[in-house]
Amino acid sequence: MRRFPKLAPLSLFSAAAVFIAACSGDAPPPQPTDTSPIPVSAAADVALKRLTRAQYTKAIQDVLGQAIAVPISLEPDDEVDGFFSVGSSEAGISALGVERYESAAYVVAEQAMVAGDTRDAIMPCKPNGIVDEGCAENFVGIVGRRLFRRPLDTDEVKRYATVANTSAQTLGDFHEGLGFALAGMLQSPHFLFRVELGSPNNAKQMPYGDYEMATRLAFFLWNTTPDDELLDAAERGELMAEEGLRIQVDRLLASERARAGVRNFFLERFNLYELDALVKDAELFTSMSADLGPDAREETLRTVEDLVFDRQADYRTLFTSGHTIINRRLAALYGVPAPALEGFGKTEFSASSPRAGLLGQLSVLALHAHSVSTSATLRGLFIRSTLLCQTVPAPPANVNTTLPEPSNAMPTLRDRIGEHLKSPSCAACHQLLDPIGLGLERFDGIGKFREQESGFDIDPSGDLDDVPFADARELGSLVAAHPDTVRCLVRHLYRYATSHYETAGEDSLLKELMARFEQDGFRIKPLLRHIALSEGFRFGSEAPTEAPEKEAN
């Protein structure tokens, strides 16, 4: 199993550090001090990456036209610890997947080839008759370069142009025939997979080629296929060189599309796609509606977008910030005035509000809870494993996980969950989780504030790694100040960027990324830049050609 190396043992951290947020808020961002490319001691093995469903859809629309409706029934994404980007390095295509990609390809090709604006925008030529070999080759060459994210070789152009010609002949229509060539390219492994294999240089490294870099940059920073400008820079041979790469990284980061990239990173990191299928007992939670999950996701994604791009603020303030971006529905549930009549707007919480930062957001509170109740264990696990990157062992297979029912003797979850801590085998792990999660107990299973459970006051105090907190706000401050919080973000962002679990050969690179992140005031945009310029992102290692020895079970 691939697992990242264990983090350094936790050191107790100073409660004084809790107040970092106050000094970094909206102050002008400090200038980055060091922007030199970070070296890697041993690059990770190369691997094909299958486009995620989101990438498939966006790539098609970017290449063929935004008006194209892309079918949603596609091969499902593989996730590895929540990250589709990491799963994409392992994902294959099943028999049903091949059928679905085929049928989607024809649905797309038909829309692209029906007379109209979409077709006019992608056709490089006007056909001279039902069969026009030159025009077909022209189309395959130009559109194929955008779909495969590299120029096609002459065999490939011929292969798909022949399909177009034969099909046009059979069907008696040039464009209908061309649609078959287009449908073919859309099913090719060169479109469905990102083929980034690198090639050896004189220094015995395996840098990714110019076009491979264009693909890596675009999917990392935009979560979609490269635009023409990026492919042109690759064609000019600029992306393997430091200066050319810098220019393009800065261009991509300055683009509005970088917002989609950052949103997708946090979507995967916090598993926010699960909010589509949020199941809550409607009788217990009367505010529950089908729109609530997607609204909550939007709140979190707008919050990170605002943090990374609009305010360019310290990442740690994500856990302490006194404002959020919500719509009327969420405002009603939070018990604050609606910021706008329609859509989302910024809301400041009062100084006495129990809610602050990410841990006060419905996405986190509702996702890490049961359908009928809260879960201090799941919420604690989210903080430990997703926010701090700490490994918590899974519960053993043969255990009774039932907690007692609420009763007068045990009215609140804190009373009942004590059962976990009575048994030594349960306590070993639950001691790591429950006392943190209990800090969020004043938010019910859907994230609504409450002061009591079963008529008894809820005590939201606890401790995080021996530093006590009084309530959820203080817990947020402790998470912000925890040294693992920033390390974890660096790890996750690097993992997301490169689609693999970081390897031992990347340890020193990650340490340096961490140092730069600190120098830059823990701002994410410069971190994206450091990663894109680093050797870990630019170099690969040759993958083994033989089957690995089976580990003994």
* Residue 81 near other proteins by CB under 8 A: yes
- Residue number, 244 or 294, with CB nearest to other proteins: 294
- Please choose, out of 11-19, 320-328, 479-487, 537-545, the segment that lies near other proteins by the rule CB under 8 A: 537-545
- For other proteins, which residue of 23, 95, 115, 409 counts as binding (CB under 8 A)? 95
- Closest distance of CB 390 from other proteins, Å: 13
E strands, 172-211, where?
193-194, 206-207
Total residues at interface with other proteins (CB under 8 A)? 71
- Residue number, 180 or 443, with CB nearest to other proteins: 180
35 Cβ neighbours under 8 A, 6+ residues apart: 529, 530, 533
- Closest distance of CB 352 from other proteins, Å: 35
**Window 418 to 477, contacts with other proteins (CB under 8 A):** none
**CA-based torsion, 352, 357, 363, 365: positive or negative:** negative
- Residue number, 90 or 235, with CB nearest to other proteins: 90
- Closest distance of CB 52 from other proteins, Å: 13
In this structure, are residues 360 and 347 in contact, taking their beta carbons and an 8 Å threshold?
A: no
- Closest distance of CB 110 from other proteins, Å: 11
286 Cβ neighbours under 8 A, 6+ residues apart: none
Q: Which residues pair with 326 in a beta bridge?
A: 345
Q: In whole angstroms, give the CA distance from residue 137 to residue 183.
A: 15
* Residue 282 near other proteins by CB under 8 A: yes
The H-assigned helical ranges of 200-256 are 210-222, 228-235, 242-254
- Residue number, 366 or 528, with CB nearest to other proteins: 366
CB-count burial class (<10 Å; 0-12, 13-18, 19+) for 205: middle
- Residue number, 29 or 505, with CB nearest to other proteins: 505
- Closest distance of CB 311 from other proteins, Å: 35
- Residue number, 31 or 391, with CB nearest to other proteins: 391
- Closest distance of CB 278 from other proteins, Å: 10
**Window 357 to 396, contacts with other proteins (CB under 8 A):** 370-372, 394-395
Q: In whole angstroms, give the CA distance from residue 470 to residue 366.
A: 22
- Closest distance of CB 199 from other proteins, Å: 10
In this structure, are residues 215 and 62 in contact, taking their beta carbons and an 8 Å threshold?
A: no
The H-assigned helical ranges of 88-132 are 95-113, 117-122
- Residue number, 80 or 123, with CB nearest to other proteins: 80
Q: In whole angstroms, give the CA distance from residue 316 to residue 20.
A: 8
- Residue number, 183 or 233, with CB nearest to other proteins: 183
CB-count burial class (<10 Å; 0-12, 13-18, 19+) for 47: middle
* Residue 90 near other proteins by CB under 8 A: yes
Q: Output b/e per residue, 146-169; b: 16+ Cβ within 10 A.
A: bbbbbbbeeebbebbbebbbebbe
Per-residue x/- marks for other proteins, 30-69, CB under 8 A? ---------------xxxx-x-------------------
**Window 145 to 204, contacts with other proteins (CB under 8 A):** 155-156, 159-160, 162-163, 166-167, 169-171, 180-181, 183-184, 187-190, 192-193, 195, 197
* Residue 542 near other proteins by CB under 8 A: yes
- Closest distance of CB 32 from other proteins, Å: 36
Helix 210-222 and helix 257-269, axial crossing angle in degrees, nearest 10: 70
Q: In whole angstroms, give the CA distance from residue 444 to residue 285.
A: 9
- For other proteins, which residue of 14, 202, 352, 402 counts as binding (CB under 8 A)? 402
Amino acid at 212: E
- Please choose, out of 238-246, 249-257, 450-458, 542-550, the segment that lies near other proteins by the rule CB under 8 A: 542-550
